[in-house]
């Protein structure tokens, strides 16, 4: 892949996020307005929202989750930005990441100077079986779904291939969940905001209070191995290996490099971005690595002129615990296995 650059610089000058969780009675637009309002408060020198020129909204499936299509113009309208162009980006789990990339490309092209990027999902209105169906539409409905695969099932299959190739165990995956729940306690907007230890202690306290037999889990791993406390979703992925069914929204403000300091003295410049696509799992040469992630990472590193060794912090996709393990390898932070 040739080394490509943005035609002009792009900076991030504002960011807002709704609380994440299950919010009956709140629609996607309510969560997006919450994120948008917070975003406005984060711009050090302020902004007149009317100066925003376009919106790129990442959303996987409002159609099936809420029976609402054509979602982006509604987000523009509810944030007072109609009739500005509003485009929804659907790319499964990567929808909002790709919306960010489209916002970057739009500014780099010279067409816009100020762009709002959103990420929205409202999943909790549907029962679990229908959420499972909706997530599964991100795979091949003709040739993968008839096999009984679910989205957790695909990652679980990568998990069994990974266990077979590298000798990992279900417990290897559990440690990712324990770490990520610890990280969640550092974010007041996280859905659970509790460590696995705290969730476990809560269940023990509840059993004691109600006079039920008190579970004798010695530690978090024993808790996570317990089928009742941590039921199997798609073996080896259990409940706490899977990201929850969530409602939430995020909003970012991107501006061109030339005007960035009008909004803040400390803009965050976008120095690299990458994107690639991949084929159905059964068509992949290897089942323990995601080629699209490797290629996207390489493209971003080349654009930024850095290597994985330069990266000091990363948020990798962790829809399932095995996904994070594979992502951190594909992004070059760890050797395979």
Partner 1 sequence: MSSHTITQTTYQQQLADGKLMASHCPACNASYLPPRPMCPQCFGAQMEWREMPTHGKLAAFTVVHIAPTAMIEAGYGRDNPYCSGIVELENGLKISAQITGVDVSQPELIQIGSAVQAEFLQREAGAFLAFEVIE
Single out the segment in contact with partner 1 by CB under 8 A; choices: 70-78, 104-112, 137-145, 309-317.
137-145
Q: Identify each DSSP E strand in 59-198 by its residue range.
A: 86-89, 114-122
Does position 166 interact with partner 1 (CB under 8 A)? The reply is no
The Cα-based distances of 178 to 111, 202, 227, 271, 318 in angstroms read 45, 16, 17, 32, 12
Which helix (H) or strand (E) element contains residue 7?
A: none
Does position 321 interact with partner 1 (CB under 8 A)? The reply is no
* Paired tokens of 141: 């409905």
Contact present, 272 and 296 (Cβ < 8 Å): no
Does position 160 interact with partner 1 (CB under 8 A)? The reply is yes
Does position 142 interact with partner 1 (CB under 8 A)? The reply is yes
Single out the segment in contact with partner 1 by CB under 8 A; choices: 53-61, 184-192, 249-257, 282-290.
282-290
Strands 237-238 and 247-256: unpaired
Q: In the set 63, 133, 226, 257, which binds partner 1 (CB under 8 A)?
A: 133
Query: Cα–Cα distance between 75 and 56 in angstroms, integer?
Result: 10
Does position 283 interact with partner 1 (CB under 8 A)? The reply is yes
Does position 236 interact with partner 1 (CB under 8 A)? The reply is yes
The residue among 22 and 259 lying less far from partner 1, judged by its C-beta, is 22
The Cα-based distances of 86 to 115, 234, 276 in angstroms read 10, 37, 23
Calculate ∠ Cα 54-59-60, nearest 5°: 150
Letters for 110-129 (x = contact with partner 1 by CB under 8 A, - = none) are: ------------------xx
The residue among 129 and 335 lying less far from partner 1, judged by its C-beta, is 129
Nearest to 115 by CA among 253, 259, 234: 253
Does position 150 interact with partner 1 (CB under 8 A)? The reply is yes
Does position 235 interact with partner 1 (CB under 8 A)? The reply is yes
Is 267 in a helix, a strand, or coil? coil
Residue 267, C-beta contacts closer than 8 angstroms, at least 6 positions apart: 11, 12, 13, 255, 257, 260, 261
Q: In the set 130, 219, 222, 258, which binds partner 1 (CB under 8 A)?
A: 130
Q: In the set 57, 237, 252, 296, which binds partner 1 (CB under 8 A)?
A: 237
Q: Rounded to the nearest whole angstrom, what is the least distance from the CB of residue 14 to partner 1 in the complex?
A: 38
**Residues near partner 1 (CB under 8 A), total:** 39
The residue among 111 and 280 lying less far from partner 1, judged by its C-beta, is 280
Interacting residue ranges for partner 1, rule: CB under 8 A: 128-130, 132-133, 136, 140, 142-150, 152-154, 156-161, 164, 170, 231-237, 280-283, 287
């Amino acid at each position: 892949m040739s080394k490509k650059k943005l035609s002009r610089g792009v900076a991030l000058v504002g960011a807002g996020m709704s609380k994440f969780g299950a919010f009956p009675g709140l629609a996607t637009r309510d969560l997006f307005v919450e994120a948008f309002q917070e975003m406005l408060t984060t711009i050090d020198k302020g902004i007149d929202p009317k100066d925003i020129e376009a919106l790129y909204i990442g959303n996987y499936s409002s159609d099936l989750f809420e029976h609402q299509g054509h979602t982006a113009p509604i987000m523009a309208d509810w944030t007072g930005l109609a009739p500005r162009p509003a485009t929804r980006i659907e790319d499964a789990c990567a929808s909002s990441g790709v919306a960010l990339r489209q916002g970057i490309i739009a500014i780099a092209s010279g067409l816009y100077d100020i762009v709002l990027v959103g990420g929205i999902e409202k999943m909790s209105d549907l029962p679990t079986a229908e959420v499972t169906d909706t997530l599964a539409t991100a795979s091949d409905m003709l040739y993968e779904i008839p096999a009984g695969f679910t989205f957790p099932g695909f990652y679980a299959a990568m998990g069994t291939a990974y266990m077979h190739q590298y000798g990992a165990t279900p417990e290897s995956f559990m440690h990712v969940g324990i770490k990520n729940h610890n990280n969640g306690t550092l974010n007041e907007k996280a859905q659970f905001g509790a460590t696995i230890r705290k969730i476990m202690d809560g269940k023990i306290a509840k059993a004691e209070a109600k006079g039920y037999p008190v579970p004798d889990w010695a530690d978090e791993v024993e808790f996570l191995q317990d089928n009742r406390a941590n039921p199997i979703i798609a073996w080896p992925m259990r409940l706490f290996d899977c990201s929850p069914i969530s409602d939430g929204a995020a909003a970012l403000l991107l501006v061109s490099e030339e005007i960035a300091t009008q909004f803040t003295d400390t803009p965050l410049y976008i120095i690299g971005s990458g994107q690639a696509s991949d084929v159905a799992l059964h068509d992949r040469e290897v089942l323990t690595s995601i080629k699209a992630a490797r290629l996207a990472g390489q493209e971003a590193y080349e654009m930024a002129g850095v290597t994985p060794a330069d990266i000091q912090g990363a948020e990798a996709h962790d829809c399932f615990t095995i996904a994070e393990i594979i992502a951190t390898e594909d992004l070059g932070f760890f050797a395979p296995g």
